[in-house]
Amino acid sequence: MRNLISVFCILVLFPAAGQKIKYKDIYSLLSTKQYEAAEPFLKKYLSETTDNPNAWLFMGIVYENKAGKTDILKSTEEALVFMDSAILTFTRAASLLTEKEIKRNAEYYAMYSRTDLRTGDYGVKLSDVQFDLRKRIEALRERMDKTKMVKHFFLRSEAAYTRSYQLYRSLQQSYPGLRELYLRADNQLLEKLTHLALSYDSAAKDFDNYRLSIQNLDKPGYKPVWNPRVIKNFKTDGAEPADFYTNEPAVWDYGRFAREAQKSIQEQVMPVRQELVTYDIEINKLAEKLQRDSVSVKSELTRLVQSLLSEKLRQFDERPMPLDILAAKAADLDYRSARIETRKHRDSAHVYFQVELIKRELQALNRLDSLLKIAASRNLDEEGLNYQDFVSQTYNSITLLKSYVRTQQEYVKKERERVEREMLRRTAALTWLINGNDSIPLFDNPSSPFKPLVLDPAFTAGLWYDAQGKPHVYFYDIPPSHRPGIRARFAVDGSVFASTELQALNMLVTSDNSSQIFFVLAYSTKPVKDKYAVVLAKIYRLDGLAWQVSHNLDFVPQSIVYQAETNEVIIRSGGELSVTIDKSGKRKAN
């Protein structure tokens, strides 16, 4: 109640009456630590009364109290002003203190009362008050120094981290993604990464000094913790600034990011970048050798392709543009080598081999075409930024690289027309035998005078009708050259084997185990007076036709078997009927 009355008197009665404020009324607030309420009146009192040491003492305590409540980071200057003011007022109080003052106003110094151990008297001693003032002044000066040190390291750490943040943000805004950052790296970027790492390290070091220095302050209001987060996504992580006025600012580990990026660029990206240029040079050397010597470079090309360390590059780029271009160049060499191989063996009589050669050409051309389409489908302007060294050192500019791809595509288009025509021509050759001026079809060809009735991978047999329509049996082997070594042709009965009777005509062929002797049986399935006409021929691989004989059988032949031990041929029906022909072609009696 007394305190309330004192406040009421101070706030209302005295100001209203214009009377001078009495210190004892202010002291009633100060003694109960109502410093905020007392401060304005105490200041007014001291502006009018400057020789009251107790008033100056409590003014110092008010400033000291306010300094303790002021945020040392957000309001550092204000806190320092309060501390400095407290020091000044404590110093003023000390200069005015006397024994007389202590004795006359002992009640105002009650907080210093104690029992003198020597005399046993209870009271206030001047030395005790002076000692307290000295300790307070020393503590305030020490706190001012520590506060300045805390703010110094705090500001340094915040500034260094802000630089790191700004550097990192500039990288985020300069590159579409981490892939582009690695692939487009140059010395300027490496310098930025160095600055980023150094700025971050400075921020971390100064933060640690800030943390240690703030621990030396009594009730600082902060317990700072440095707990950086790892950057996992270059485009989304690390994009927001950190609030250092919190106990645990949300900082990102820009230093680790910068060092890891720098290491990858220097130890992996840049060496691989040079390897790509070297690889291109090696391909060009092979191209020069092929052009100069007109020789296939397929074996060297295979070794070169195996030496390309593409997996290193794919760590940073799943589909590296240079690998597509280099693969297309290698495929072009492969195709040109295939062409040289084809020309080298153009005189080969092996028709299947000739077809195989042109197939290799077509396969190589298809691969080249596929790779060029992949290269053309890419955004070469954008990809060129990722591989500036490769583009500048191999094609001078992205414009010339794009021109190379277009030119190659036009080349492939023309080559495809040529190769496909050649493929058709050579494939068609597989369906014919060439015997002098005759072309014997290995397929049913109504317009040809040759009518194949037996088609085997090793030989063919059929009927040939001359210009007068007279029938002849023919038998040829089918060597790889499609120019037969076994040639047998002989006339047969026109009334039985006429072209009009083809639907009723057929043939069977058999041979010995070593395919040195062949037997060709031509027959009609159309009976004449219940008999079936057949013609059997014996043909040697080396000597050709040995003999041919005609017989009339009681059945339609279904198979023929050569018995080497007796040198006989057995013609069988589908049932139990059979006929045996001896070595001279005569029919043996059953």
pLDDT band, very low/low/confident/very high, at 18 (cuts 50, 70, 90)? low
CA atoms of 462 and 190, how far apart (whole Å): 81
What local confidence, expressed as pLDDT, does residue 322 receive?
86
pLDDT digits (tens, 9 = 90+) for 280-294: 888 888 898 888 888
Distance CA 555, CA 574 (A): 9
Sorting pLDDT into bands at 50, 70 and 90, what band is 11? Answer: very low
Q: Identify the pLDDT of residue 480.
A: 87
The model's confidence at residue 12, banded by pLDDT at 50, 70 and 90, is very low
Q: Distance (Å, rounded) from C-alpha 137 to C-alpha 91?
A: 8
Bridge partners (DSSP) listed for residue 520: 509, 537
Q: pTM of this prediction?
A: 0.69
Give the model's confidence band at 47: pLDDT under 50 very low, under 70 low, under 90 confident, else very high: very high
**SS3 label, residue 574:** coil
User: Which of 13-17, 326-330, 427-431 is predicted with the least confidence, judged by mean pLDDT?
Assistant: 13-17
User: Residue 453, CB half-sphere, CA atoms under 13 Å: how many?
Assistant: 24
pLDDT tens by residue, 307-321: 666 677 788 888 888
Range with lowest mean pLDDT among 5-9, 145-149, 205-209, 327-331: 5-9
pLDDT at position 590, please?
Answer: 66
Distance CA 264, CA 256 (A): 12
Residue 8 pLDDT exceeds 80: no
Would the pLDDT of 7 be above 50? Answer: no
Confidence of residue 119 (pLDDT cuts 50, 70, 90): confident
CATH topology of domain 2-147: 1.25.40
The pLDDT of residue 309 is 60
C-alpha 1/C-alpha 4 separation (Å) is: 5
8-state DSSP, 110: G
**Are 333 and 287 spatial neighbours (Cβ–Cβ below 8 Å)?**
yes
- Other Cβ atoms closer than 10 A to 115: 10
Residue among 268, 278, 152 nearest 207 (CA)? 152
> Cα 406 to the chain's mean position, in Å?
26
**Measured distance CA(409)–CA(370) in Å, rounded:** 10
Give me the DSSP letters along 506-557. Answer: EEEEEE-TTS-EEEEEEEESS-BTTBEEEEEEEEETTTEEEEEEEEEESS--
With bands split at pLDDT 50, 70 and 90, how would you rate the model's confidence at 128?
very high
d(CA 555, CA 537): 19
- Cα–chain-centroid distance for residue 242? 32
Can you give the pLDDT at residue 2? Answer: 42
Residue partners of 320: CB distance under 8 A and separation at least 6 = 310, 313, 314, 387
Contact (CB, 8 A) for 540 and 485: no
The pLDDT assigned to 4 comes to 42
Is beta strand 578-581 parallel, antiparallel or unpaired with respect to 568-572?
antiparallel
**pLDDT tens, position by position, 434-466:** 888 899 999 899 999 999 999 999 999 999 999
